[in-house]
C-alpha cells in the first residue's frame, strides 16, 4: 500500500518524531519522482551493460583485424552461431549437468546440515569427527574420483557423488559455525526454562544459524556445478546423454573452439543462475529480520 507524504506529516511527535518524519517524507517524495527509475538504471544497470558491450565489441573487432583462424580465436558471432547450430546437443548437455548438479547440491544440503547438527550436539563428537571432514576437503577430487567410479560405476551415480563431495564441506562448515555462534544469553534463557538439547537446537540454534546456512548455500550451489562438470570429465557417459563436461571434451578434441566457448559460457550461466536463485531465496527468508538482507537507508 502506498503511503502519502501528507499522512506522514500529520502523525503526532509521540508516534513519529519530527526529525524522522521529515526524513521519511523526503524519501517518499524522492520515490515518487518520475526520474528515479532512470537514475536507478544509470547507476546500477548502465555501467555493467556498457562494459559488456565494449568488451564484446572489442573482442569482435580485434579478432576481425587479426584474421585469426576460428579454431584459434573465434569471434563472439562465431560462438553464437555455433550455439545455434548445436542448440539441441547443447540444451541436452545443459539439462543433464543441471540435473546432476541439483541432485548433488540437495544431497550436500541434507547431509551437510544434518552432519553439522550432529556435531554441534556434542563437543566430543565434533572434536573426533570434524578433522576428518577437513581431510576429506583437502584431498583433490580427481584423486578420489577413480575410486568413486570403481565403487558406483561410471554415469549419473558417480557424477552426483562427486558433485556432492565438492559442495558438502561448505555446508557442513558454515552450518557448524552458525550453530556454535548462538547468543549465550539466549542459551542461558532456554536453560532457565528447562529446555532440553533438542528443543534448544530446533527453536534457538538452528534459526540463529540460518544466515550461516545461507552463506553455505551460496558457496555450495556454484561448486555443485563445478563438481558435476568435473565428474563428467572422469565418470561421464558420452553420446546424447552426455553433460557439459562431455561436450567440452568432445569440442576440444575436434578443435571446435566456438562450440567449446559456447559450452563454457553455458556452464558459467548455469552457475550464475544457481547463485541468483539461492540469493533470491536468501532475501525472501532473511530480509524481514536479519541485517545481512534488510534494506539499509543511506
Output 44 or 14, whichever has higher pLDDT.
44
**Would you state the pLDDT for residue 287?**
78
Output 102 or 28, whichever has higher pLDDT.
102
Burial 132-157 (b: 16+ CB within 10 A, else e): ebeeeeeeebeeebeebbeebeebbb
pTM equals 0.80
Query: Look-up: residue for cell 571432514?
Result: 133
Q: How many beta carbons lie within 10 A of that of residue 193, not counting itself?
A: 9
Mean pLDDT check: name the lowest of 34-48, 68-82, 85-99, 156-170: 34-48
Q: How many beta carbons lie within 10 A of that of residue 118, not counting itself?
A: 13
Q: What is the mean pLDDT of residues 201-211?
A: 92
Q: What is the mean pLDDT of residues 141-151?
A: 86
For the stretch 261-296, pLDDT in tens is 999 999 999 999 999 999 999 888 887 766 666 665
E-only strand ranges, the chain: none
DSSP class of 241: G
**Would you state the pLDDT for residue 100?**
93
Q: What is the mean pLDDT of residues 143-165?
A: 88
For the stretch 37-61, pLDDT in tens is 667 667 777 788 888 889 999 999 9
For the stretch 175-190, pLDDT in tens is 999 999 888 898 888 8
| Beta carbons within 8 Å of 37's beta carbon, 6+ residues apart | none
Average pLDDT, the chain: 83
pLDDT band at 149 (very low <50, low <70, confident <90, very high): confident
Question: All 3 cell numbers of residue 22?
Answer: 521529515
Contact 249, 237 (CB under 8 A): no
Q: Residue 13: pLDDT above 80? A: no
**Can you give the C-alpha Rg of the chain in angstroms?**
26
192 backbone dihedrals φ, ψ, rounded to 5°: -65, -30
Q: What is the mean pLDDT of residues 18-40?
A: 57
Contact 179, 116 (CB under 8 A): yes
What gap in Å lies between CA 108 and CA 164, rounded to an integer? 5
Q: What is the mean pLDDT of residues 13-30?
A: 52
What gap in Å lies between CA 227 and CA 162, rounded to an integer? 6
Contact 249, 263 (CB under 8 A): no
Output 27 or 129, whichever has higher pLDDT.
129
Output 9 or 239, whichever has higher pLDDT.
239
Q: What is the mean pLDDT of residues 243-263?
A: 91
Amino acid at each position: 500500500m502506498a503511503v502519502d507524504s501528507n499522512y506522514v506529516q500529520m502523525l503526532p511527535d509521540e508516534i513519529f518524531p519530527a526529525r524522522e518524519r521529515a526524513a521519511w517524507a523526503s524519501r517518499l517524495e524522492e520515490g515518487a519522482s518520475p526520474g528515479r527509475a532512470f537514475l536507478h538504471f544509470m547507476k546500477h544497470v548502465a555501467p555493467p551493460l556498457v562494459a559488456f558491450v565494449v568488451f564484446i565489441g572489442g573482442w569482435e573487432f580485434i579478432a576481425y583485424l587479426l584474421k585469426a583462424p576460428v579454431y584459434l580465436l573465434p569471434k563472439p558471432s562465431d560462438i553464437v552461431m555455433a550455439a545455434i547450430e548445436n542448440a539441441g546437443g547443447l540444451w541436452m548437455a545443459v539439462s543433464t549437468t543441471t540435473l546432476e548438479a541439483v541432485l548433488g547440491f540437495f544431497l550436500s544440503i541434507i547431509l551437510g546440515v544434518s552432519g553439522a547438527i550432529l556435531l554441534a550436539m556434542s563437543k566430543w563428537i565434533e572434536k573426533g569427527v570434524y578433522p576428518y571432514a577437513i581431510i576429506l576437503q583437502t584431498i583433490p577430487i580427481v584423486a578420489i574420483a577413480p575410486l568413486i567410479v570403481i565403487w558406483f560405476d561410471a554415469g549419473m551415480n558417480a557424477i552426483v557423488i562427486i558433485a556432492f563431495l565438492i559442495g558438502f564441506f561448505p555446508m557442513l562448515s558454515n552450518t557448524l559455525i552458525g550453530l556454535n555462534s548462538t547468543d549465550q544469553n539466549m542459551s542461558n534463557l532456554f536453560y532457565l526454562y528447562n529446555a532440553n538439547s533438542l528443543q534448544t537446537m530446533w527453536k534457538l540454534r538452528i534459526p540463529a544459524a540460518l544466515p550461516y546456512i545461507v552463506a553455505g548455500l551460496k558457496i555450495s550451489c556454484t561448486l555443485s556445478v563445478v563438481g558435476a562438470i568435473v565428474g563428467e570429465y572422469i565418470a561421464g557417459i558420452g553420446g546424447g546423454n552426455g553433460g557439459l563436461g562431455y561436450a567440452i571434451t568432445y569440442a576440444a578434441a575436434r578443435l571446435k573452439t566456438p562450440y567449446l566457448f559456447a559450452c563454457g559460457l553455458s556452464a558459467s550461466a548455469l552457475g550464475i543462475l544457481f547463485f541468483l536463485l539461492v540469493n533470491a531465496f536468501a532475501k525472501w527468508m532473511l530480509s524481514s529480520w536479519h541485517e545481512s538482507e534488510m534494506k539499509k537507508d543511506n
